[in-house]
């Protein structure tokens, strides 16, 4: 029984081992995870490394496992330190699942990967980013297993930008050291000197200066200088600097704003400038590595030599040095921006402006409607006045007509007002019509209306009764005034009428009746004045007569 149990257990254990191995193998074969290793030249504490990693994360898919290794060459650039890193990495790689692709950040990591491509990185595609040595990058990318994104720090674009801020600058000063990055950027920096013969190119080499000497050198930078901070990892005193420390030292002691060609330190006191987008650089490299890990051939990807550069400016530094904010490039990414009133309140201003505009539109429409109504009202009033005028005034002479005369006489009759009534007509008017025609006769009447209207006395109102008969109401009982007015009326016609080069003599016969002296009834007063006028006609015309003088012979009592 014991043997049976022991045999059963042994068989069960064997089956478990066989099944377990089969399951593990299938699991390994069916794994949908891909592995990418990122090797940085620096430490995670270096700010640009963190930005690179953010970009790399954006460029890989969710089925990729991303691991990190940091060479820390900013603090430990010696061969012994690099060898220790190699030994540790080789030990770890030997015990891990193989990687599908490797991303290397910056020059030191690329050189390390190329050096050990045949031992610990055999047959593994290498994608670089953040590499400054363009010649070296072009050379090693001839390998079908190496490609990537170069980092072309644009010294020229930054100097051009600085010259818009300081057009009278006399020199360009670079802050750098003897690190691998510093040596590569030193060559790039001085290669631009021939483009600016008006500027002196010089440097502050941190590796050759003690801490105190370095601070004094930065303090002593002339104010007519363009300052470009490139890299500071050490000084001659043996002091190592991380990114934050070096940026703090430059921004604290430099008397001029410091340009920067990468994003690290911008926002901590550096002005910024035309920078390599470390995030975009990392993303582009990660997208390549991700595709390669999923089966794409590395040789299908050419090196991206068009460095992903942007303008990245700290507005607070611009304000600190009283620089013109309008000189910031239009496409720049600006940090520490102090929003204008519009930018701060546009979410309120826009709706308010829309409401104001709508109200203005309503007001304009109402105003236009009101104007239109006023125009219509004025037109109606004008038409009413015209109708009134046409019903009360003679169209030919412009004088008040018969209708207006009787209306005014009725008012005078009602109020028992005193007045004198003049009646006159043109002597021989029929002969004028027969001789010159009716058109000229009308011209004579028109001219007569003008002449009689020339008497500007508020008490005197002329009317056209009919044909060539005219009546004037003179609101007075003063006989001297009445007599003077009658003489004046006659004098208006002593000058002949000049009409269309025709001279026509025009004379009048005028009769005068006075109310209430001659008659109390206004309508009968017309008859009295008419009788006086006919008396003038009988006695030779071209004169005037008073009804009172012919009253005993009259018929209007």
361 and 423 belong to one structural domain:
no
Residue 357: domain span: 340-379
> 244 in a domain, yes or no?
yes
Whether 543 is covered by a domain: the verdict is yes
Site of tokens 């990055």: 181
C-alpha span between 152 and 191 (Å, rounded): 13
**E-state strands within 409-552:** 419-426, 460-466, 469-474, 497-499, 502-504, 508-515, 544-546
State whether 325 and 360 are in the same domain.
Answer: no
The residue written with tokens 């006159």 in the block is 424
Q: Which residues pair with 225 in a beta bridge?
A: 171
Provide, rounded to the nearest whole percent, the portion of the chain with pLDDT above 70.
91
328 and 434 share one domain = no
The residues pairing with 36 across neighbouring beta strands, listed in sequence order, are 66, 101
Q: Determine the pLDDT at residue 180.
A: 80
pLDDT exceeds 80 at position 364? yes
Q: What is the DSSP string of 309-346?
A: EEEEEEHHHHHHTT--GGGS-TT-EEES----HHHHHH
In a domain, 363, yes or no: yes
pLDDT-derived band at 175, boundaries 50, 70, 90: very high
Q: What pLDDT, on the 0 to 100 scale, is given for residue 375?
A: 82
Question: Can you spell out the DSSP letters for 381-446?
Answer: HHHHHHHHHHHHB-TTT-SB-HHHHHHHHHHHHHHT--EEEEEEEETTHHHHHHHH-HHHHHHHHH
Task: Over range 266-288, report the average pLDDT.
Answer: 91
pLDDT, residue 305, reads 82
Strand partners, 426: 508
Residues 269 and 192 in one domain: yes
Residues 197, 183 share a domain: yes
The CATH number of whichever domain residue 410 belongs to comes to 3.30.70.270
Rg for the chain (alpha carbons), in Å?
57
* pLDDT for position 63: 95
- Averaged pLDDT for residues 95-113: 95
Q: Is residue 112 part of a domain?
A: no
308-344 pLDDT, tens digit each: 788 999 999 999 999 999 999 998 999 999 887 776 7
Within-domain flag for 388: no
> Has residue 456 been placed in a domain?
yes
pTM: 0.51
Per-residue three-class SS string for 198-216: CCEEEEEEHHHCCHHHHHH
Confidence bin at 377 (pLDDT 50/70/90): confident
Q: Residue 368 falls within a domain, yes or no?
A: yes
Q: Are residues 351 and 322 in the same domain?
A: no
- The residue-averaged pLDDT of 52-77 equals 94
Residues 364 and 221 in one domain: no
Percent helix, strand, coil in the chain (nearest 5)?
Answer: 50, 20, 30
The answer to whether residues 455 and 478 belong to one domain is yes
**Co-location of 348 and 443 in the same domain:** no
Contact 175, 228 (CB under 8 A): yes
Q: Are residues 503 and 459 in the same domain?
A: yes
> Residue 390's pLDDT band (boundaries 50, 70, 90)?
low
Say if residue 428 is in the same domain as residue 467.
Answer: yes
The pLDDT assigned to 32 comes to: 60
CATH number at residue 187: 3.40.50.2300
Domain contains 331: yes
Number of domains in the chain: 3
Do 334 and 463 lie in one domain? The reply is no
């Amino acid at each position: 029984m014991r043997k049976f149990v022991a045999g059963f257990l042994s068989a069960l254990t064997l089956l478990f081992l066989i099944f377990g191995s089969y399951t593990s193998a299938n699991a390994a074969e069916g794994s949908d995870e891909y592995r990418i290793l990122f090797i940085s030249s620096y430490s995670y504490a270096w700010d640009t490394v963190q930005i690179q990693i953010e970009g790399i994360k954006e460029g890989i898919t969710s089925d990729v496992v991303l691991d990190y290794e940091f060479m820390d060459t900013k603090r430990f650039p010696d061969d012994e330190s690099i060898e220790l890193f190699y030994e540790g990495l080789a030990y770890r790689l030997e015990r891990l699942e193989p990687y599908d692709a490797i991303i290397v950040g910056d020059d030191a990591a690329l050189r390390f990967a190329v050096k050990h491509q045949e031992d610990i990185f055999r047959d593994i595609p290498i994608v670089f980013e953040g590499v400054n040595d363009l010649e070296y990058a072009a050379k090693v990318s001839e390998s079908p297993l190496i490609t990537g994104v170069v980092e072309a720090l644009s010294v020229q674009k930054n100097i051009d930008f600085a010259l818009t801020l300081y057009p009278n600058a006399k020199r360009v000063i670079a802050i750098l050291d003897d690190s691998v990055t510093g040596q590569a950027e030193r060559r790039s920096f001085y290669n631009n000197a021939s483009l600016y013969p008006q500027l002196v190119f010089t440097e502050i080499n941190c590796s050759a200066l003690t801490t105190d000497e370095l601070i004094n050198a930065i303090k002593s930078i002339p104010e007519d200088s363009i300052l470009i901070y490139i890299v500071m990892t050490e000084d001659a005193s043996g002091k190592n600097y991380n990114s934050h420390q070096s940026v703090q030292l430059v921004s604290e002691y430099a008397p001029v704003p410091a340009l920067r060609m990468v994003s690290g330190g911008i926002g901590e006191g550096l002005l910024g400038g035309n920078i390599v987008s470390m995030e975009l650089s990392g993303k582009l490299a990660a997208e390549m590595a991700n595709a390669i890990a999923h089966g794409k051939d590395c040789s299908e990807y050419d090196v991206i030599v068009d460095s992903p550069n942007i303008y990245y400016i700290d507005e607070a530094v611009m304000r600190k040095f009283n620089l013109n904010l309008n000189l910031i490039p239009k496409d720049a990414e600006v940090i520490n921006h102090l929003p204008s009133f519009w930018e701060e309140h546009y979410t309120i201003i826009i709706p308010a402006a829309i409401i104001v505009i709508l109200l203005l539109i309503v007001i304009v429409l109402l105003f236009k409607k009101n104007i239109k109504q006023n125009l219509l009202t004025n037109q109606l009033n004008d038409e009413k006045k015209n109708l009134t005028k046409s019903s009360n005034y003679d169209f030919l002479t412009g004088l008040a007509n018969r209708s207006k005369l009787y209306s005014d006489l009725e008012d005078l009759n009602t109020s028992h007002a005193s007045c004198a009534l003049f009646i006159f007509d043109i002597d021989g008017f029929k002969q004028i019509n027969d001789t010159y025609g009716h058109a000229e006769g009308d011209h004579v009447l028109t001219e007569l209306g003008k002449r009689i209207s020339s008497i500007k006395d508020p008490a005197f109102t002329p009317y056209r009764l009919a044909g060539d008969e005219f009546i004037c109401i003179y609101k007075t009982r003063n006989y001297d005034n009445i007599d003077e007015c009658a003489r004046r009326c006659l004098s208006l016609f002593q000058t002949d009428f000049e009409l269309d080069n025709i001279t026509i003599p025009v004379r009048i016969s005028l009769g005068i009746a006075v109310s209430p002296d001659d008659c109390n009834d206004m309508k009968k007063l017309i008859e009295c004045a008419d009788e006086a006028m006919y008396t003038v006609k009988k006695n030779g015309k071209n004169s005037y007569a008073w009804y009172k003088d012919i009253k005993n012979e009259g018929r209007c009592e």
